[in-house]
Chains A and B, each alone.
Chain A
Amino acid sequence: MAEPALSIRGLTKVYGNGFHALKGIDLDVQQGDFFALLGPNGAGKSTTLGVVCSLVQKTAGKVSVFGIDIDKDFARAKNNLGVVPQEFNFNQFEKVEDIILAQAGYYGMSHREAKPRAAELLKDLGLWDKRDGSARALSGGMKRRLMIARALIHRPKLLILDEPTAGVDIELRRSMWDYMRRINREEGTTIILTTHYLEEAESLCRNIAIINHGEIVKNTSVRELLGQLNTETFLLDLAEQVSEVPTLDDFQIEKVDSSQLAVSVKRGQRLNDLFSQLSDLGLTVVSMRNRANRLEEMFVSMVEESNAEAAK
């Protein structure tokens, strides 16, 4: 099998103030994968990605990018990496296009090669009209797209995106998803992203890892993870007002408010049974939706489990 795009072994990070941000992480991301690194705030996602792209000094462990050990030849490893960090990190006073062209220069790309590539990316990411303005004048979502264009200028084989869609509106988010899918599929770019929108991970990614308190608590495929989902919670809006919670055979039910019920449906149970029982009680369901995105439900239960484990 081909070398993994990213391979991490025993990665440990202790920050200067003595804080153990990473406690020996192992992680593999295969070439061509679309991978999500998930976890609550402060879990260690940015720290992990920071080590990979040289923004954070690791304390111990091994990291290789396409089989290149970063301790042996970081420069060659970096050539394969494109990075979109969580925080804006460009000079706000520079022109949009200049920021991208300078980045190309740092990779050793000649101006002649960089100029058309920059134009292509600026157009793809909807920044072409803004290219001559200073970066300060961009909106938050545009700044994030600027960082994506900058990260792709040297055609990296591995793209690392730390919360790429934070602060991006819904329509734009969809178009960014399409763009990321396209470069993953057509150009074979391996993509690793972190996000707090589980819907995003579910719709984009094939594999995920969940990290909490500096440890990997789960590393699996999205499909398998969703397969483990035993219970789904649905919210039902009723035409009538109910004063007390109706009792149903086999279904766990809660009242959210006088006209909304939350019903837990276990795997194997049929929604038909639920509805027929409700209509027997004279209740009319007008609309229904999942309480949470399915992956989100899974995620919450896993993080809670790992927090409980840590509290022991």
Chain B
Amino acid sequence: MNAMQIAVALWTLVGKEVRRFTRIWPQTLLPPSITMTMYFIIFGNLIGSRIGPMDGYDYMDFIVPGLIMMAVITNSYSNVASSFFSNKFQRSIEEMMVSPMPNWVILAGFILGGMARGLGVGIIVTGVSLFFTRIDVAHPLLTIGVVVLTAALFATGGFINALLGKKFDDISIVPTFVLTPLTYLGGVFYSISLLPDFWQGVSMLNPILYMVNVFRYGFLGVSDIPVGWALAAICAFITVLFAIALWMLERGKGIRG
């Protein structure tokens, strides 16, 4: 395929992915918006006013970046996981396999689709947060960069999950037992400086902590960790996961008899 044809194929796939999650918006866009609104009301407003400042910021301002990030992570991941898995399940993945579209285009199409949902929900949550607080963004470019990279990373993870999954349950295991705990423990609701030394050390092993922190740094201008290293680490993770996913696709893992 020439570059023009590849662009058409990629555009077709991304368009289809976006149409899928917008068509079923009550399942894809609405629930995270409602959950996040609850967090804002309960933690930010009701309880937050009693907690007092965190790291020197109003508690509401502290949790907004973390909650946006949490929405982006879970939605990017689960969009690709469930969409690709259902393509596999309904065998419509074969439509792509019989076409001359290269595997990297298939992979990129699903990742971009997942990013679109993750970032779309992120924008909705940001919009909702404006009802509760004023948002000032200290470093806009960095903020956008890190959230886009994070969406790409988790969308790629969702893809691998769907390739490995054999039944529908398999695609909810990782979000429930890995992503949610890591996000909750990744400094969304508290600064790790509150923890004893030992648990601070353990927290530093959690990759989501770095993403949340860099993102919060973008908003507030403060961070517990070195920003440059964190960005480099996210890029490295994306490269590795993309390579694994592509290798699995080339080998036909989970899709070809």
Contacts and interface: CB of A to CB of B under 8 A. Distances in A.
Interface of A: 15-16, 47, 50, 53-57, 74-76, 78-79, 81, 83, 85, 87-92, 98-99, 101-110, 150
Contact of A105 (B11, B97, B102): B11
Contacts of B123: none
Interface stretch (B85-93, B140-148, B153-161): B85-93
Contacts of B87: 91
B206 interface: no
B13 A106 contact: yes
Contact of B91 (A88, A101, A103, A106): A88
B100 A89 contact: no
Contacts of A57: 251-252, 256-257
Contacts of B8: 105, 108-110
**Among the interface residues A54, A56, A104, which one has the most CB atoms of the partner chain B within 10 A?**
A54
Give the interface SS of chain B, mostly helix, strand, loop or mixed: helix
Given A50-B257, A75-B102, A150 B95 contact: yes
**Among the interface residues A53, A85, A88, A108, which one has the most CB atoms of the partner chain B within 10 A?**
A108
B1 A75 contact: yes
**Among the interface residues A56, A85, A89, A150, which one has the most CB atoms of the partner chain B within 10 A?**
A89
Interface of B: 1-2, 4-6, 8-9, 11-13, 16, 86-87, 90-92, 94-102, 251-252, 256-257
B97 A54 contact: yes
Given A88-B91, A92-B90, A107 B13 contact: no
A106 B90 contact: no
Given A74-B100, A106-B95, A108-B5, 13 more contacts: A57-B252, A78-B99, A81-B98, A83-B98, A89-B90, A105-B8, A105-B9, A105-B12, A106-B9, A107-B5, A108-B100, A108-B101, A109-B8
11 contacts: A16-B257, A53-B97, A78-B99, A78-B100, A89-B94, A91-B87, A105-B13, A108-B1, A108-B5, A108-B100, A150-B95
Contacts of A50: 257
Q: Which 4 A-B pairs have the closest CB atoms?
A: A108-B5, A105-B12, A106-B99, A89-B91
A117 to B, nearest CB: 14
A91 B92 contact: yes
Contacts of A16: 257
Contacts of B101: 106-108
A106 B4 CA distance: 12
A83 B97 CA distance: 11
Contacts of B86: 91
A143 to B, nearest CB: 12
Contact of B98 (A55, A76, A87, A104): A55
Contacts of B92: 89-91
A78 B91 CA distance: 18
Given A55-B257, A89-B90, A108-B5, A75 B100 contact: yes
Contacts of A56: 256-257
Contacts of A88: 91
Contacts of A76: 100
Contacts of A83: 98
B100 A79 contact: yes
Contacts of B4: 108
Contacts of A104: 12
Contacts of A47: 257
A7 B102 CA distance: 23
**Among the interface residues A78, A90, A105, which one has the most CB atoms of the partner chain B within 10 A?**
A105
A88 B94 CA distance: 10
Contacts of B97: 53-55
Contact of A108 (B6, B16, B98, B251): B6
Nearest to A92: B90
B162 to A, nearest CB: 15
A144 to B, nearest CB: 14
A108 B102 CA distance: 11
Given A83-B98, A106-B96, A109-B8, A91 B90 contact: yes
Contacts of B98: 53-55, 78, 81, 83
Contact of A90 (B5, B12, B90): B90
Contacts of B1: 75, 108
